[in-house]
Amino acid sequence: MNTKRRNISDTTILLTITIVVFFAMYIGAMIFQGKGFLKLQTFLNILNANAALILMACGLTLVMIIGSIDISVGGVAALVSMCCAVYLDRNVLSPEKNLTPGNVAVSMLIALGIGLAYGLVQGYLIAYLDIQPFIVSLAGMFFARGMTTIVHTNPFNVENEAFNRLKEPIRIAFLGTVNKKGKLVPAKIEIGVFIALLIVIILFFVLRYTKLGRSFYAVGGNRTSALMLGINVKRTKFFAHLMCGVLAGIGGYVYFLHVGSGAASHATGAEMNAIASSIIGGTMLTGGVGNIIGTLFGVMSLATIQSIVSSAGFDQAWWTGITVAAMLCLFLVVQSIVIARKKKSLKKQ
Amino acid sequence: MGKEVLKMRGIDKVFPGVHALQNVDFTLCEGEIHALMGENGAGKSTLIKVLTGVYTKDEGEIILNDNAVSIKSPQDAQNLGISTVYQEITLCPNLSVAENMFIGREHSTIRNWKKMNEDAGKILNELAIPAKPAQQLASCSIAVQQMVAIARAVDMDCKVLILDEPTSSLDEQEVEKLFKLMRDLKAKGVGIIFVTHFLDQVYEVCDKITVLRDGQLVGEYEIKDLPRVQLVSKMLGKELDDMSDIKSENAAYEKKANETPVFTATNLSSTEAVYPFDFHINKGEVNGFTGLLGSGRSECVRAIFGADRNLSGEKTKDGKQVKISKPIDAMKKGIAYLPEDRKVDGIVGDLSVRENIVLAYQVLKGAMHPFSKAEAYKFADEYIKLLDIKTASADTPIKSLSGGNQQKVILARWLLTHPDYLILDEPTRGIDVGTKVDIQKLVLKLASEGMAITFISSETDEMLRTCSRLIVMRDRHVVGELTGDDLNQNKIMSTIAGGESDGK
């Protein structure tokens, strides 16, 4: 049995913990909180509301695997929302001209462009000029928040027909339920959820099966060794940050699709939620260990606990904060205990 | 001997303040094992790093198979067929064994795990390395990790294989395995550059020796033309009969009857799985823990020093019972400990030599009692002179010193606290013969002045030269104590090996 245990990597152990805890929590909520959590739509709503966070957390997972960090993603999301909002609803800036509304496809390109620009610049500074990632992305965050306000100061809802159509959740009849009146209520899933899940699948593949993905782990495991093993460490770091930037752009757009408005205060603290989700999902801040599926479950765990707290009547923000903090602590302690135990059992052999 | 596969001509490399390599030539032929020898700081590592693209040379040329090549990164070196196994494991602990063997040199963008594991399994089998392909590297012992690194290098179909002190963490059997591997590769026409401090090993496997000293080429010799004594004198640049001196000094220690031991421990055990043992040491005595790698030598002294949590046991210092549960307790009681792995436990790389020297003394005095910078300089200069530490100044960052000199700085750090009882855990590992002798002599001198010293080394003859009592360990048990006439290689071997049935 011991030999079998030896083959399990740290990543797998942490992933297992996350998945088990998520299901335990959700089933617990179903039993103790009753009705709400028994409905499929409650689960789907959690997904709908957190698709953007999933994307941002994926980006964070990538940079955390290489042992780096990016705290600008929330700011980027806000900037993306605001730029796209202003572009789609041009009348906000100059109502008197009565301009034609912007094209949705172009707004997507704007989102991608902002994300890409962030990834390129931050990646370059961090990977090639070797500047502390925390500092670079701190500056990035301030810049994004500042720019958001410069683009437009007041929050507003977007008036754009094509966009509003896109924003509508997709109705899926066969997942629907029949309500008391005997009428079919189809399940509603926002388009962002599909984007997020698609990207999770792609990233899972990238991290597990591609040269680049494996290089992320190598660089995070030991940077000097990775260099000696013939990995282009700088380029690897650059790509991780580039991908994180692009994911923040996409995440920003999904966020925008969910809220349908532009505001300088959008996605405040999203970067911290993304980091927390990644950690709950089994990614280690020290680098080298992490899993994208874990991150998905990390986001869902975080979101579930938030909705448990609010549906239990503690809907003030601080209760959520305190619960999330407690959960993070719990996860970190469990992680370190499990890993320490594993090391101990190895030493005894 | 085959044709010349690698020629390095007129290599020059300057670091700020140090001319690390001056006009060095090096030639390697197909199918030869070529030892690169020299003291620490002689420029071996620099030369290797120039060849592997970690450093770029300032001048000179590298000719591989008659083509001048420029090597700008470890990748370039790999692509050109130059593989390296470093002393420190340069693999990623978080990846699997198989992945460590193949990452960085895969051709396809998409990973085929199944095939990779099969390939890795084949190589591991061939080389009889006890590891599974899917196992996480961190779960292997250091020796196995080193073997994996070698397996990786070997599989790369290399023309030039560089082994930079690969044997310092291996035990004898493993070294034997490695040598067999080296001979097989040699037969296949691979040129091997072998860097080591173990003279025996050089004479066992090598064909040629190139000696460097102070960044300059001393010469290239056929192994049969260069007896050991001459090799050592070439490395040091002076004739050496210090070895014999030491032996005679050894007899000096005589135990006085009824003396209170400086330190005793009874029934001591720690969390690092050392079985309870008793221990004592007298004033002016040098004793040592010996045993195979992993037998618990270091764990014993760590338990004494309180570096690992004690599970049981009582300790006395100068006859009085003391409680030592943390290193600071031990330091306050006049016990000093020089750890095994200086990179991890010892030096603070970015601090200067001076700061590293006064570190322990400052801790002992407490942060509330600072001493002046002038005083610190005085201490630093005193010990730099006393121990003959080769450094540009007391303000040089310690990480720019060679390994042997770093070790001396750490030794100075502990001597400054004026301990009654000094524990040296592998103080001579990975350092050159000259410094080794210096340290051995110093140990005996300190002991003759009344200090009690525990000395641990993986080289038995070094232990025999310095220690007057040896505690033998096997599988984390103390299995015997040798003194007087029993202090010889054979007796140690038989004690280590003896009564296998009671071991695990």
Q: Is A210 on the interface with B (CB under 8 A)?
A: yes
Question: What local confidence, expressed as pLDDT, does residue B484 receive?
Answer: 77
Q: DSSP character for A103?
A: P
Question: What local confidence, expressed as pLDDT, does residue B169 receive?
Answer: 66
Query: Region A297-305: what's the mean pLDDT?
Result: 90
Residue B385: count of CB within 10 angstroms of its CB: 9
Question: What local confidence, expressed as pLDDT, does residue A137 receive?
Answer: 95
- The larger pLDDT score, comparing residue A10 to residue A236, is at A236
Query: Region B370-390: what's the mean pLDDT?
Result: 80
Strands B335-338 and B421-425: parallel
Query: Which of A142-151, A153-162, B229-238 is modeled with the greatest confidence?
Result: A142-151
**Residue B193: which pLDDT band, with cuts at 50, 70 and 90?**
very high
Query: Region A112-122: what's the mean pLDDT?
Result: 96
CB contact under 8 A, A220 and B94: yes
| Residue A30: C-alpha distances to residues A155, A186, B368 (Å) | 37, 21, 58
- The larger pLDDT score, comparing residue A117 to residue B228, is at A117
- The larger pLDDT score, comparing residue A263 to residue B184, is at A263
| CA distance linking residue B455 with residue B443, whole number of Å | 8
Q: Is the pLDDT of residue B65 over 70?
A: yes
Set of chain B residues whose Cβ sits within 8 Å of the Cβ of A6: 132, 135-136, 139
Name the nearest CA neighbour of B144 among A6, A340, A344, A226.
A6
Query: Are B44 and B36 in contact, with CB atoms under 8 Å apart?
Result: yes
CB contact under 8 A, B91 and A222: yes
Question: What local confidence, expressed as pLDDT, does residue A205 receive?
Answer: 94
Burial of A37-73, coded b for 16+ CB within 10 Å and e otherwise, reads beeebbbbbbbbbbbbbbbbbbbbbbbbbbbbbbbbb
Least confident span in A105-119, B228-242, B413-427 = B228-242
Q: Is the pLDDT of residue A97 over 80?
A: no
Tell me the pLDDT tens digit for each residue of B228-252: 777 777 776 655 454 444 444 444 4
Q: Is A328 on the interface with B (CB under 8 A)?
A: no
* φ, ψ (nearest 5 deg) of residue B377: -60, -40
Q: Is the pLDDT of residue B112 over 50?
A: yes
Question: What local confidence, expressed as pLDDT, does residue A3 receive?
Answer: 42
Q: Is A345 on the interface with B (CB under 8 A)?
A: no
**Residue A100: which pLDDT band, with cuts at 50, 70 and 90?**
confident
Question: What local confidence, expressed as pLDDT, does residue B228 receive?
Answer: 73
Q: Is the pLDDT of residue A4 over 50?
A: no
| A165, part of any domain | yes
Q: Is the pLDDT of residue A111 over 90?
A: yes
| A349, part of any domain | no
Question: What local confidence, expressed as pLDDT, does residue A342 receive?
Answer: 64
Query: Region A303-316: what's the mean pLDDT?
Result: 79
| Residue A183: C-alpha distances to residues A37, A42, B166 (Å) | 21, 18, 75
Set of chain A residues whose Cβ sits within 8 Å of the Cβ of B139: 6, 346
- The larger pLDDT score, comparing residue B503 to residue A213, is at A213
Tell me the pLDDT tens digit for each residue of A26-44: 888 888 877 778 888 888 9
| CA distance linking residue B186 with residue B160, whole number of Å | 10
Least confident span in A15-19, A77-81, B47-51 = A15-19
Q: Is the pLDDT of residue A258 over 90?
A: yes
| Residue B327: C-alpha distances to residues B286, B336, B420 (Å) | 21, 9, 15
Q: Is the pLDDT of residue B66 over 80?
A: yes
| A153, part of any domain | yes
| CA distance linking residue B190 with residue A291, whole number of Å | 41
Question: What local confidence, expressed as pLDDT, does residue A84 receive?
Answer: 93
Write down all domains in chain B, each with its CATH number in brackets.
4-238 (3.40.50.300), 241-334+421-504 (3.40.50.300), 339-418 (no CATH)
Per-chain mean pLDDT for chain A: 86
Q: Is the pLDDT of residue A1 over 60?
A: no
**Domain count of chain A?**
1
CB contact under 8 A, B78 and A230: yes
Least CB-CB distance to A6: which of B75, B94, B135?
Answer: B135
Question: What local confidence, expressed as pLDDT, does residue A344 receive?
Answer: 62
Question: What local confidence, expressed as pLDDT, does residue A78 receive?
Answer: 95
Q: Is A224 on the interface with B (CB under 8 A)?
A: yes
Q: DSSP character for A128?
A: I
| CA distance linking residue B438 with residue B415, whole number of Å | 15
Tell me the pLDDT tens digit for each residue of B447-499: 888 888 888 887 777 788 888 888 888 777 788 888 877 777 777 777 776 64
Query: Which residues pair with residue B239 across a beta bridge?
Result: none
Q: Is the pLDDT of residue B405 over 70?
A: yes
Query: Region A112-136: what's the mean pLDDT?
Result: 95
Query: Are B365 and B371 in contact, with CB atoms under 8 Å apart?
Result: yes
Q: At what angle do helices A317-348 and A270-280 cross, to 10 degrees?
A: 30
| CA distance linking residue B448 with residue B251, whole number of Å | 11
Question: What local confidence, expressed as pLDDT, does residue A343 receive?
Answer: 65
**CA angle, A221 as apex, B458 and B401 as ends, to 5°?**
50
Question: What local confidence, expressed as pLDDT, does residue B40 receive?
Answer: 65
Least CB-CB distance to A211: which of B109, B113, B135?
Answer: B109
Residue A96, judged by CB atoms within 10 A of its CB (0-12, 13-18, 19+), counts as exposed
Instruction: Match 């990748």 to its residue by tokens.
Output: B75
For residue A333, the enclosing domain spans 2-343
Query: Are B348 and B356 in contact, with CB atoms under 8 Å apart?
Result: yes
Query: Which residues pair with residue B195 across a beta bridge?
Result: B36, B164
Question: What local confidence, expressed as pLDDT, does residue B42 receive?
Answer: 79
Least confident span in A4-18, B113-127, B409-423, B456-470 = A4-18
Query: Which residues pair with residue B19 across a beta bridge?
Result: B14
Burial of B225-241, coded b for 16+ CB within 10 Å and e otherwise, reads ebeeeebbebbbeeeee
Question: What local confidence, expressed as pLDDT, does residue B501 receive?
Answer: 36
* DSSP of B224-261: GG--HHHHHHHHHTS---HHHHHHHHHTT--PPTTPPP
Query: Region B53-70: what's the mean pLDDT?
Result: 87
Interface test with B, best of A222, A225, A291, A342 (most B CBs within 10 A): A225
Name the nearest CA neighbour of A224 among B266, B7, B380, B91.
B91
| A180, part of any domain | yes
Scanning A5-24 for CB atoms below 8 A from B yields 6-11
Question: What local confidence, expressed as pLDDT, does residue A315 receive?
Answer: 64
Cα torsion A239, A241, A245, A251: sign = positive
**Any residues with CB less than 8 A from the CB of B475 and at least 6 apart, and which?**
B295, B296, B503, B504
- The larger pLDDT score, comparing residue B494 to residue A220, is at A220
Question: What local confidence, expressed as pLDDT, does residue A138 receive?
Answer: 96
CATH of residue A145: 1.10.3470
| 3-state SS string for B115-171 | HHHHHHHHHHHHCCCCCCCCCEHHHCCHHHHHHHHHHHHHHCCCCEEEEECCCCCCC
Q: Would you state the structure tokens that stand for residue B269, as one six-digit string? A: 């055990």
CB contact under 8 A, B111 and A348: no
Least CB-CB distance to A228: which of B86, B94, B113?
Answer: B86
Scanning B165-184 for CB atoms below 8 A from A yields none
CB contact under 8 A, B103 and A229: yes
Least confident span in A108-112, A339-343, B217-221 = A339-343
CB contact under 8 A, B92 and A225: yes
- The larger pLDDT score, comparing residue B335 to residue B496, is at B335
Least CB-CB distance to B109: which of A8, A210, A227?
Answer: A210
Which chain A residue is nearest to residue B108, measuring alpha carbons? A211
| A97, part of any domain | yes
Q: Is B349 on the interface with A (CB under 8 A)?
A: no
Q: Is the pLDDT of residue A167 over 90?
A: no
Per-chain mean pLDDT for chain B: 80
| A186, part of any domain | yes
CB contact under 8 A, A230 and B100: no
Q: Is B141 on the interface with A (CB under 8 A)?
A: no
Q: Is the pLDDT of residue B152 over 80?
A: yes
Question: What local confidence, expressed as pLDDT, does residue B345 receive?
Answer: 61
